[in-house]
Structure 1
Amino acid sequence: MPIITACTMDCGDACSLLVDPEARTVRGNPKHPFTKGFCCKKGGRYFDRLDAAERITTPLIKRDGQFVEAGWDEALGLAVARLDAARRNPATILHIGGHGYRGVLGKASSILFQALGSSTTRGALCDNTGITASIRDFGALNHNEPEDILHASRIVNWGRDVARSSVHQQALMARARKQGTEVLTISPGGDGAAEYSDLTIRVRPGTDRFLAGAVLKLFLESGDLNPWVLTRTANWPALRGLIDSLDFRDLCRACDVSAADAEMVYDWYADSGNVATLIGWGLQRHVFGGENVRFINAVAMLSGNVGVSGGGAYYNISSGRNLGTWAHLVRGGLPAAPRRELLINDLGPELRRADPPVEFVWIDGHNVVNQVPDCLAVADALRKPFVVVVDGFMHDTAMLADIILPPAFMFEREDALGSFIHNCVNHCAAAVPPPGLCRPDFEIMAELGARLADPVVLPDGDTCLAEGLKKADISLAELREHGFVKVSHPPVAFKGMVFAHPDGLYRFPEALSPEPERDAEYPLQLLTLVRGESVHSQIPEADQAGFPTVWIAKDNPAFAALNPAMDAYLVTPAGAMRVTVETVAGLHPRSVIMRRGGWMKFGHNANVIIESRMTDMGEGCAYYSQGCRLENR
């Protein structure tokens, strides 16, 4: 009989799933208001990951450079001895946690190491730049409920690859189109957006703020401004002065969009009816990624499409906004105090210059060596401290560990989690037993804390789950019975244009930064985009044979210059990697696409040659501002 559980991967759809333990099949829960009976192929094929032949199912300890199998008592005993030794100076302990596993119980490692006063990381590799931008504008992170998009007269999909990142938002857009709603997609291309759009506009990567600025310029020149909307803003004169100073055609040139196409975007926002705006989760991965998001928000606001049904600017909500913490129930450890923070975006140099030096590193939910820029520097820096990795595959980070502890994966452990798109809290039930000696992360952390010379005692799992659900007034019994609970929030965010800033007013951006000059030696732009088949680096080893593929347009200047009979290399100031080059229609001619997450040990990881750059806000990582070229060698 199918068991109701849920996906805990790093995806906003956060599907409720029906798992058949005997047939080892997965399908979407038809009773869930967002999942609606289907899921993506990443979730649908998850048993391939659980049953992979290369999965690690026994603790491993590195001896003389080789991993050997060990029991839990030996592996945890060694980890505890090293951790106890490092506790004389908690800053020498570093915890690196990621979103490879999310949930109430999934917070156990962060809570335990906070109690130890360890060093931690700051900054973000994904969406924090866009989150910061949205909070600066609206005062809080919020958007209309996902289904409200069905009330839109028109939808502007500004850079979101819904086919690969949110199949349920793609389905909502398809339903809206059947109702007669038109969809305009703005992106650098190469994403198959034409299949689910009525119109597409190609923009130079990272320059969306200039297109949004051109649209704002047309609003200003037309005089078609709603006076009431302007009263709901705190700094309209500042934006008006900025837009007045800009030239419309200069703005179009800056983003490689024709004046006619910019005028079409204006018409979409200025026409009668409401416009919903989806903002892509890649727009923030540029040096001025925060400005990109803020200027798109400004178009939605100035056109009167915020705080209304059928409108809204959709970026993110917090996946934890319906869940509370259980950290206050932990016994032992240090009082809450500031902790040393190492910048995740520049982790290799941060580890090298750390004073006192890091002696012990615990890594879970994060193939960090694979995911950060300049990852060779991170790999080199992690060879010095004692490293424990909690993971089930011998990926780039696990290879550097002194101890590998095999966790139970989703479907093999219980948890409760939220979404950064919808407002359901899902129950992730344990549908099948973990293989071999794999154990749930929560059990690993509870035993680790209890074994310390000065113990840190975690509550039992049920207590933690119940405490985490109190914020939304959900009982654990109710969640287990139904598999999910939808938490009530207003269907329209910022209704009546009342915003979350103390004065209730919206904030426009007040500066428009020029795009950094291209280096003539590296005239192309590398975009390491999301995959459709795998989440980040959760890629089967068998899928990483040969050389990684990059995609370019036929009108890319590199296409004519490359000799197909010779080896092709992707080159940046940080190095070069052998690649296979294919073409894709509709991609911006200065763009090079490579799908993210490939492993360094197979020669598939672009982060080896991506330099560390910071975004303009939120301490994000500007992966997509990497200049590159393609050449034969």
Structure 2
Amino acid sequence: MLPEDAARPAPAPVTRTAPRICPLCEATCGLTLTIEGTRVTGARGDRDDVFSRGFICPKGAAFGELDADPDRLRAPLVRRDGELREASWEEAFDLIAARLRPLIKEHGPHATGVVLGNPNVHTMAGALYPPVLLGALGTRNLFTASTLDQMPKHVSSGLLFGDPLAIPVPDLDRTDHLLLLGANPLDSNGSLCTAPDFPGKLKALRRRGGTLTVVDPRRTRTARLADRHIAIRPGTDALLLAALAQVLFEEKLTRLGPLADHVEGVDEVQEAVRDFTPEAVARACDMDAGEIRTIARELAAAPTAAVYGRVGSCTVEYGTLASWLVDILNILTGNLDRPGGALFPLSASDRAPRTPAPGKGFVLGRWASRVGGHPEAKGELPLAALAEEIETPGEGRIRAVIALAANPVLSAPDGDRLDRALAGLDFMVSVDPYLNETSRHADVVLPPPPPAQSAHFDFAFNALAVRNQARHTPAAVPLEEGRLDESEILARLILAVSGMHGAAPSVVDDGVIGRTLGKAVADPHSPVHGRDPQELSALLTGRTGPERRLDLKLRLGPYGDGFGADGEGFGTDGEGGADGAGGADRAGLSLQRLLDHPHGVDLGPLRPRVPEVLKTRSGRIELLPAPIAADLPRLRGALDERPASLVLVGRRHLRSNNSWMHNVPALGGGSNRCTLQVHPDDAARLGLEDGRPARITADGGALEAPVEITDTVRTGVVSLPHGWGHDRPGTRTSVASARPGVNVNQLLDGSRLDPLSGTAVLNGFPVELAPLP
């Protein structure tokens, strides 16, 4: 080598772009990543994406910074002599196998609790492997984030339609009238309604002459966009919805239309809401009775309309009743299962539609929690009950916890109690990229790689999308040396707890594929009925187990090629997308087709399909299920209750998605602050000053937070955002810990639950305020 050669700088990394579906919220926008070598240096909206068409929010724009967060764990941590230290993957899984299997053998399968956080639905592995893990463990102690946000909607859908996953979404692109309760999609980007550029869709509704009514105790960004903003008293959404239904009956404004052939119990619902007149609910809701009647009449008169309720209407005392009434109103106005109303999406990875027939129905309370006797819902127990299940001695006590992408110390009520309970476990495993307030208690921490190093397909959110489509993006950069893909981490975890430690991770995927194909070939309605499962397995493509499983789901799904069964595939009803709308054709979906179309395949607008959705025992929409009827007297009792003088609600920030995004500097600006918002009148009455701390007291204890005086909250209401409280020792989130905020859920003791769903009451609970010197 010549001397001048040694002085030459190393060549600059090659710059390229790669598509990636954003995993940071439910909107699932398409991104175009700029990559230098193996580092993501930029992200912009993918204008060619068939679903998001270039939309991007601040979270997606910060993809590269989140991906390269220096606080992300890069190797497993194993507890040795009381301290968590880096270890090899082999050491980590050896310890899990050595500790968990004997514990389960001695104390039984229910000695283990599984906690699933909401990031699981944002990854392929998080959607595919937890059900297999639960099957391997055999435990009934499953706790998820659903009982902190959306379980009321699952319960009401299960009771109405027989399927807790059959959730209708508003047809945002075609509706003429949208009544929105407890949701702020301009900040959240939507929830249980996957809609890139939700703000743009609401603005388009206004431009085409439609009406937007927002019911929210805060004047949110969404409320400011609305034709009408109703600052309702928190927690009374169910009363308002019941009154709207009562007006529809009283003024003979119901019109079921084609739904009339698919419903039962209309007269019973009319009798059930008879007492909830606008005049009866007005005081509790703090609304004018005439305004309630006007809303009902406008809803009935609109050419098409949709009622949409989300977290603010779910995480309250009557969350399931409110969720049920949302669908009741859509049904009574003939807008359920109707273009422009609320429709059921049909995901490409879902099972192909079945022949309409009575199903098994949906049952609540098949078992109950050991200590509090809380009934299960959708196979889950209230996350608020986890601490007591760990702390309380006796047979069946939870002695070990496996937490997958979960931080319940911050997200569940009374995190201090849960903090202490987790510290007393015999063993804990956490799959998490961070050492956070929960994972710091683990004996083994297994960190998945950054999102750029992972392939992506949205199993959950495509089933909630406002337009049917399918998109898959391979990993944008290679897996870093020394890391394991999340799918391999979870597969090896399954093997370690099931007595197959040391087997190849592919055994897990091969087993799932074999069982799925075995059922498919035995099903006379399946396109592969009677064929050889091994022959079909050999036809699957994909470099990894998750990709092969995705290929299987796509090919057996409603738009799939059926392994060449008939050459027709999706679009047999004439409504599939055309080549010009995303490259789809009648050859049907498969993994290869998605790889050939990196910006996605458009599968067309949502269409009416209620007969194939119903799984109730009657084969009809059962409008007044027994559990709902039994809970209505509790709602009637609210008519006579004296409202609390001051209640607290949470709030969502555009630059945040629960606790795990507070460690990204780019997302810490703007309004993303942990402040207590107070109306000027309440501040003056209580002697509070802007910027000065106040003491907040409720059931579970007290907190101190800086006051932000603003008229965006109504009188009698204060607001504190969730996901904060990053002040516990032993974590490694330097940015979040530098500005910790306070954990609003510490104000709760976990006793306030919606009885039907077990969902924690996180909004509309009474508080007291006092200024601090």
TM-score by length of 1: 0.87
- Give distance in 2, aligned partners of 1:150 and 1:119: 41
Aligned residue type for 1:301? I
Other-structure match for 2:26: 12
1:377 aligns with 2:492: no
My pick for the range that moved more, 251-260 or 113-122, is 113-122
My pick for the range that moved more, 551-560 or 571-580, is 551-560
Other-structure match for 2:183: 160
* 8 Å Cα contact 1:120-1:339 kept in structure 2: no
Q: Secondary structure at the match of 1:366?
A: coil
Other-structure match for 1:114: 135
1:101 aligns with 2:97: no
Structure 1 residue 378: Cα displacement: 1.3
Aligned residue type for 1:282? G
Structure 1 residues 514, 410: CA separation in 2 closer, same or farther (over 3 Å shift)?
farther
Other-structure match for 2:530: none
* 8 Å Cα contact 1:275-1:305 kept in structure 2: yes
2:153 alignment partner, one of 127, 130, 138: 130
Structure 1 residues 190, 16: CA separation in 2 closer, same or farther (over 3 Å shift)?
same
Q: Deviations over 1:230-277 (max 9, x none)?
A: 676422222222333344312111211112321321232132522222
1:568 aligns with 2:699: no
Structure 1 residues 487, 117: CA separation in 2 closer, same or farther (over 3 Å shift)?
farther
Other-structure match for 2:620: 504
Other-structure match for 1:351: 390
Q: Deviations over 1:16-48 (max 9, x none)?
A: 322222252222332333211112221221222
Greater RCO, 1 or 2 (C-alpha within 8 Å, sep 6+): 1
1:467 aligns with 2:552: yes
Structure 1 residue 194: Cα displacement: 3.6
1:536 alignment partner, one of 646, 650, 658: 658
Q: Deviations over 1:335-386 (max 9, x none)?
A: xx99997542211002123634334322112112221112212111111222
1:606 alignment partner, one of 736, 739, 744: 744
Structure 1 residues 288, 194: CA separation in 2 closer, same or farther (over 3 Å shift)?
closer
Q: Secondary structure at the match of 2:435?
A: coil
1:525 alignment partner, one of 647, 652, 656: 647
1:279 alignment partner, one of 309, 329, 333: 309
Structure 1 residues 486, 596: CA separation in 2 closer, same or farther (over 3 Å shift)?
farther
- Give distance in 1, aligned partners of 2:483 and 2:641: 49
1:204 aligns with 2:233: yes
Corresponding residue pairs, total: 617
* 8 Å Cα contact 1:547-1:579 kept in structure 2: no
My pick for the range that moved more, 463-472 or 363-372, is 463-472
Other-structure match for 2:46: 29
* 8 Å Cα contact 2:166-2:613 kept in structure 1: no
Structure 1 residues 26, 355: CA separation in 2 closer, same or farther (over 3 Å shift)?
farther
Root-mean-square deviation (CA, aligned residues, Å) is 3.5
Structure 1 residue 163: Cα displacement: 0.7
Structure 1 residue 520: Cα displacement: 9.1
Q: Deviations over 1:153-190 (max 9, x none)?
A: 22222332111222522211112222222222122123
Q: Secondary structure at the match of 2:759?
A: coil
- Higher gyration radius (CA): 2
- Give distance in 2, aligned partners of 1:320 and 1:615: 33
Structure 1 residues 206, 66: CA separation in 2 closer, same or farther (over 3 Å shift)?
same
Can you give the 5+ residue segments of structure 1 that lack an aligned partner in the other structure? 325-336
Other-structure match for 2:350: 322
Matching of residues 361-440 of structure 1 within 5 Å: 361-384=401-424, 385-418=426-459, 419=461, 420-422=463-465, 423-434=468-479, 437-440=482-485
- Give distance in 2, aligned partners of 1:342 and 1:222: 41
* 8 Å Cα contact 1:409-1:440 kept in structure 2: no
- Give distance in 1, aligned partners of 2:113 and 2:286: 44
My pick for the range that moved more, 342-351 or 62-71, is 62-71
Q: Secondary structure at the match of 1:347?
A: helix
Matching of residues 204-243 of structure 1 within 5 Å: 204-226=233-255, 233-243=263-273
- Give distance in 2, aligned partners of 1:623 and 1:343: 13
- Give distance in 1, aligned partners of 2:410 and 2:29: 26
- Give distance in 2, aligned partners of 1:515 and 1:318: 39
Aligned residue type for 1:211? L
- Give distance in 2, aligned partners of 1:245 and 1:305: 24
Structure 1 residues 93, 217: CA separation in 2 closer, same or farther (over 3 Å shift)?
closer
* 8 Å Cα contact 1:306-1:494 kept in structure 2: no
* 8 Å Cα contact 1:417-1:428 kept in structure 2: no
Other-structure match for 1:299: 329
1:478 aligns with 2:523: no
Q: Secondary structure at the match of 1:100?
A: helix
Q: Secondary structure at the match of 2:754?
A: coil
Structure 1 residue 443: Cα displacement: 1.4
1:264 alignment partner, one of 288, 291, 294: 294
Other-structure match for 2:767: 628
1:445 aligns with 2:584: no
- Give distance in 1, aligned partners of 2:243 and 2:612: 24
Q: Secondary structure at the match of 1:13?
A: coil
Aligned residue type for 1:365? A
Matching of residues 45-194 of structure 1 within 5 Å: 45-88=62-105, 89-102=108-121, 103-106=123-126, 107-118=128-139, 120-122=141-143, 124-140=147-163, 142=166, 148-166=171-189, 168-194=197-223
Structure 1 residue 122: Cα displacement: 4.4
TM-score by length of 2: 0.72
Aligned residue type for 1:504? R
- Give distance in 1, aligned partners of 2:693 and 2:712: 25
Structure 1 residue 192: Cα displacement: 2.0
Structure 1 residue 71: Cα displacement: 2.4
- Give distance in 2, aligned partners of 1:224 and 1:445: 53
Q: Secondary structure at the match of 1:155?
A: strand
Q: Secondary structure at the match of 1:84?
A: helix
* 8 Å Cα contact 1:539-1:598 kept in structure 2: no
- Give distance in 2, aligned partners of 1:7 and 1:426: 11
* 8 Å Cα contact 2:214-2:222 kept in structure 1: yes
* 8 Å Cα contact 1:143-1:493 kept in structure 2: no
Aligned residue type for 2:136? A
Structure 1 residues 377, 38: CA separation in 2 closer, same or farther (over 3 Å shift)?
same
Q: Secondary structure at the match of 2:290?
A: helix
Q: Secondary structure at the match of 1:269?
A: helix
* 8 Å Cα contact 2:457-2:471 kept in structure 1: yes
- Give distance in 1, aligned partners of 2:705 and 2:33: 38
Structure 1 residue 323: Cα displacement: 6.8
Q: Secondary structure at the match of 2:32?
A: strand
Structure 1 residues 518, 468: CA separation in 2 closer, same or farther (over 3 Å shift)?
farther
Structure 1 residues 288, 515: CA separation in 2 closer, same or farther (over 3 Å shift)?
farther
Q: Secondary structure at the match of 2:303?
A: coil
Q: Secondary structure at the match of 1:95?
A: strand
Structure 1 residues 520, 577: CA separation in 2 closer, same or farther (over 3 Å shift)?
farther
- Give distance in 2, aligned partners of 1:282 and 1:434: 39
Q: Secondary structure at the match of 1:282?
A: helix
